Chains A and B, each alone.
Chain A
Amino acid sequence: MTAKSKITISRRTLLAGASGTLIASRAWAQQPAEVKVGLLVPISGLYARPGTVMREGAEMAIDHINAQGGVKALGGAKLKLVVLDSGDTTEKAKNAAQRMVAQETDLVAASGAYLSSFTLAVTEVTERANLPMLTLSYSDLITERGFKYVFQTAATAGSQAKQALPQLIKLAETASGKRPKTVAILTDNTGASIASAKAMREGLLAENQLQLIVDETFTPPLADATSLVQKIRSAKPDLLFFLPTVISDAKLLLEKMNEFGLGQGKVPTISFGIAIAEPDMLQTVSPELLQGVLTCVASWGAKGHEALIAELKTRYKEPWMTQNAISTYGDMWVIKDALEKAGKADRVAVGEALRTMDGGPSKYYPLGEIKFDEKGRRVGAGMTIVQWQTGVPVTVFPPELALAKPFWPKS
């Protein structure tokens, strides 16, 4: 990539030259007192919104860490965030990962990449480059490939459903006085939803003495939810598990439920994943329709995060703190702790530190410890149940993190 050998100046040579100088200037700017951390998330395209929230969480964490004296083991070295756009396709995500490892050679660790299919592709690259990668994506597949440099901070999809079900039943039992017996599953066919639904169908429901009486899978986006809701109405399940990924699907079904007189808690509705609790929901669905809807997520702004939630609100105008913000915030602290343990700004050493670290109880991820098992899964990773209460999704489970008491919609 030298521009010298060419006599004619084309646009490409100019670009090559320009990127050459960029690399050079980076090298000059690098001081021993700065440690680079990567964030590879979608900041353009279809998933730009959640990616942006992840960046906000990361920026807040970096500022806090630096304000508190940086990495002490490295003489108070400051952290520097390098943001890369994973775009909106698997190929773009993989290309961005390749760019990250090829051009940001001094990264010590990174976080990303939102969708689990992106994370799967990205970690294929980071693994080969020995770059530790922390991820919120919870597909079980991510940590089933025998990789050494991927660390899953959230409970896996299968594990989340397993944890959530007994809690939900207990919640229903205490609130309504009777144990739910029948359930309906309405799920779209995207990766995360399928994984959760599969875990429920294949054993979890039976373990919890629940009978599956409606089981429908749809392809987003829905054009009309009438036939789905009619099935629910005629079967009258005690619980409805509704797993959308697209906000418009969530809106369509909730509205149709209301229209058929099943809404606002007549059939308690439980979701998995963040779609139904995204701030964007309020732009299309009225708070009354959402009242009481529960969703099971990997992580959420919870008890102990009040100051962070307030800061996020004032600094970025976010109405509440989703899993994307709080988890990425936590990732930066985990990387900082690993740097302290490693004692040097080296990715292999940081990877080793992450594998062997025992950071005690987790502060920013729900439950468990800051410790990873041999697969790279966080030990004891819990999950959060969030409930829409007067226009805000608040954490209601686990009790030690709950910001509000859950209520069971009255039927």
Chain B
Amino acid sequence: MLRMRSFLPPLLFTLAYAVVSLGVTNSYYQLILTLVPVWAVFGLSWNLLSGYTGLISFGHAAFFGIGAYATALGQIYFDISPWLLIPIAAVLGGIAGLLIGFPTFRLQGHYFALAMLAYPLAILYVFEWLGFQEVTLPIKRDAPIAYMQFADPHLYTLLGLALMLSTIVLTQIIERSRFGMALLAIKQNEAAAEAAGINTLAWKLRAITLSGAIAAAIGGFYAQVLLVVTPASVFGMLVSAQALTVAMFGGVGTVWGPVIGSVILIPLAEILHAEAGARIPGIQGVIFGIAIVCVILLAPEGLFWKLRDLLRKRNAKATASDTVATVAANVTTLRPASPRPATGEVVLEVRNLSRSFGGLKAVQDVSFKLHKNEILGIIGPNGAGKTTLFNLLNGFLKPSQGEVLIGGRDMSGQRPHVICEAGIGRTFQVMRPFLRMSILDNVVVGAYVRARTDDQARQFAADAVARVGLSAVANRVAGELSTKELRLMELARAIAGQPRILLLDETLAGLGHGEADEVVAVIQQLARDGMTIAIIEHTMQAMVRLVDRFLVLDHGAVITEGLPEVVTRDSRVVEAYLGKKWAGHAAN
């Protein structure tokens, strides 16, 4: 139901656009109306990769140009109709995406962006070298419709609109599926995404393949509109820039961004060119540039987000009085931990685990066992190697030595998403929530590792949100939450994947006293429900009441292990935390 409703706005928009276009008789305005959906689709294809994953591509012209040349050369040399060539172009664009993505995804951030810049420029020279400086589509006077050569320019606009509508709907489907969630997770924190069971390389390759296919298809259509293809007009720097411009102007990471950007910028550029350019040649570029600079300054994330934030703020003001209602966590209140015998089945066993960075032995020769249904507290002073140990357990780091047995199987050195699938979930010291998304959407990301369908993932996520007591606020955006709620949300994301073992990294950090108690209660409830938990924490106070057993690390090695009351009195532990001087005091 929800899904059907979300397709309505693009459909209405497309229909309205079509009606306007049919009313325009001036062929020049009609051409502009045709170019708007062309650049919108190109922006959408860029958005699919760069908007959702955050990996900026400066080289989308590579796909656009491949599509344009495939469509042009296919007609010239093989006399194939563009009706067939545009789908072929899409396939070629997809293949190009895969070929380009595979080596380039080894790079990240700016390096990825710059490497992408190279592809269209390199291909441009190849096409020049091949002698395709100027390619014109053969005119087909006898079968114009079969060769997509319409006498009525309205038809080009309608065709462009059809392409735009399908791209919007496709993007919307992706946005709400596990595909879109995976891409968003990659954008926020690729490492965290891996930890949540997302095979990031596979999803990125899927994204660039699809993005390349769409870009190539619209490039083919563009060739059909322009009728002349030159390397500069389809592989040029300005073409890649066009995708960025419309998407960034309108809003990155949303289906409406490129559409808004294109609807405003393309006609604006043309009007300026036609009206101002005739009087002062070149002024159109200046005005256009200033307009873009202003938007970047005033709405750095694009118009869509700016408008949405403004609208939300206004709505929030109007309904502020309603939302004051308390959002108390509906979990059982804190009770002192009843000791659980540490004798259950061993679910995680670490044997002689070591990892060094150069000369620094961050973790050395650590061995311990985690029994089913217990809460193990891992403590130690700063730099003791606690987080490194977690990173070794969930696959961010490969151990130099030793084994990690999950359910009896050695999983050391596996990729994080594989280990996540094996049943280990984790949270992070530094939270990386998706601020614009609702709590439920944030949590869904973590559910896909177990869920087979999108509906099942939503179900798992809703369950997880309920277990941490956030059901009442599940539909609020993460940006409005308190630190405690964010911590609980992170917890929900980790348990949405239904792990058997949960690694919690400083889940109580930054919380006030009362708040910490609430979170502790949630964790205890999880343990009661059968979860096995390892938790890193600095604050002893809360930990003593929470955990069944302590593992104490210092300088990367295990000092001691045992029941809380025993460990806290151990002089070695006090020494590690407070220094030699206090060890004596503590003994008294």
Residues on A facing B (Cβ under 8 Å):
1, 12, 15, 19, 43-45, 48, 83-85, 87, 89-92, 94-96, 98-99, 101-103, 116-117, 120-121, 124, 127-128, 139, 141, 145-147, 189-191, 194, 198, 217, 219
Contacts and interface: CB of A to CB of B under 8 A. Distances in A.
B228 A44 contact: no
Contacts of A101: 27-28
Interface string B135-175: 01011000000000001000000000000000000000000
Interface residues of B, number: 38
Nearest to A94: B226
B24 A91 contact: no
Contacts of B230: 90, 117, 191
A150 B133 CA distance: 20
A89 B29 contact: no
15 contacts: A43-B281, A44-B281, A44-B284, A85-B278, A90-B232, A95-B35, A95-B270, A98-B31, A101-B27, A102-B29, A103-B28, A120-B134, A191-B230, A194-B128, A219-B128
A325 to B, nearest CB: 18
Contacts of A194: 128, 131, 133
Contact of A124 (B128, B227, B270): B227
B584 interface: no
A103 B271 CA distance: 13
A297 to B, nearest CB: 19
Nearest to B274: A99
Nearest to A193: B133
Q: Secondary structure at chain A's binding surface: helix, strand, loop or mixed?
A: helix
Contact of B228 (A94, A127, A128, A217): A94
Contacts of B270: 95
A98 B139 contact: no
Interface in B261-287: 267, 270-271, 273-275, 277-278, 281-282, 284-285
Given A89-B233, A217-B129, A145 B31 contact: no
B8 interface: no
B233 A91 contact: yes
Nearest to A127: B139
Which one of B27, B28, B138 has the highest number of Cβ atoms from chain A below 10 Å of its Cβ?
A: B28
B228 A121 contact: yes
A124 B136 contact: yes
Given A44-B282, A85-B278, A121-B228, A102 B136 contact: no
Contacts of A12: 267
Contacts of B151: 128
**Which 9 A-B pairs give the minimum distances between C-beta atoms?**
A102-B28, A191-B133, A44-B281, A90-B233, A121-B228, A44-B282, A124-B227, A99-B28, A98-B28
A58 to B, nearest CB: 15
Given A44-B285, A90-B232, A103-B28, A117 B125 contact: no
A90 B238 CA distance: 12
Contact of B134 (A99, A102, A116, A198): A116
A296 B433 CA distance: 67
B482 interface: no
Given A44-B282, A87-B273, 20 more contacts: A15-B271, A44-B281, A90-B228, A90-B233, A91-B226, A92-B273, A94-B227, A95-B28, A95-B32, A98-B28, A99-B274, A102-B26, A102-B28, A102-B29, A103-B26, A116-B134, A120-B228, A127-B139, A147-B139, A189-B133
Given A83-B278, A102-B27, A145 B228 contact: no
Contacts, number: 104
Contact of A19 (B27, B32, B275): B275
A356 B31 CA distance: 33
A189 B274 CA distance: 32
Nearest to B127: A189
Given A89-B233, A90-B226, A98 B27 contact: yes
B238 A89 contact: yes
Contacts of B28: 95, 98-99, 101-103
A370 to B, nearest CB: 27
Interface in B66-89: none
Contacts of A217: 129
B278 A84 contact: yes
Nearest to B267: A12
Contact of B275 (A15, A84, A94, A189): A15
Interface in B16-55: 24, 26-29, 31-32, 35
Contacts of B228: 90, 94, 117, 120-121, 124
A95 B38 CA distance: 14
B273 A95 contact: yes
Contact of A191 (B27, B129, B134, B236): B134
A103 B24 CA distance: 13
A120 B136 contact: yes
Contacts of A219: 125, 128
Contacts of B227: 94, 121, 124
A147 B129 CA distance: 28
A102 B282 CA distance: 23
Contacts of B131: 194, 198
A146 B271 CA distance: 33
A166 to B, nearest CB: 26
A121 B134 CA distance: 10
B207 to A, nearest CB: 28
A191 B227 CA distance: 17
Nearest to A217: B129
Contacts of A15: 271, 275
Most buried by B among A91, A99, A116, A120: A91
Contacts of B226: 90-91, 94, 121
B236 to A, nearest CB: 8
B155 to A, nearest CB: 14
Contacts of B285: 44-45
Contacts of B282: 44-45, 48
Nearest to B230: A117
A20 B285 CA distance: 24
Contacts of B138: 145
A19 B278 CA distance: 13
Nearest to B24: A1
A127 B141 CA distance: 12
Interface in B509-559: none
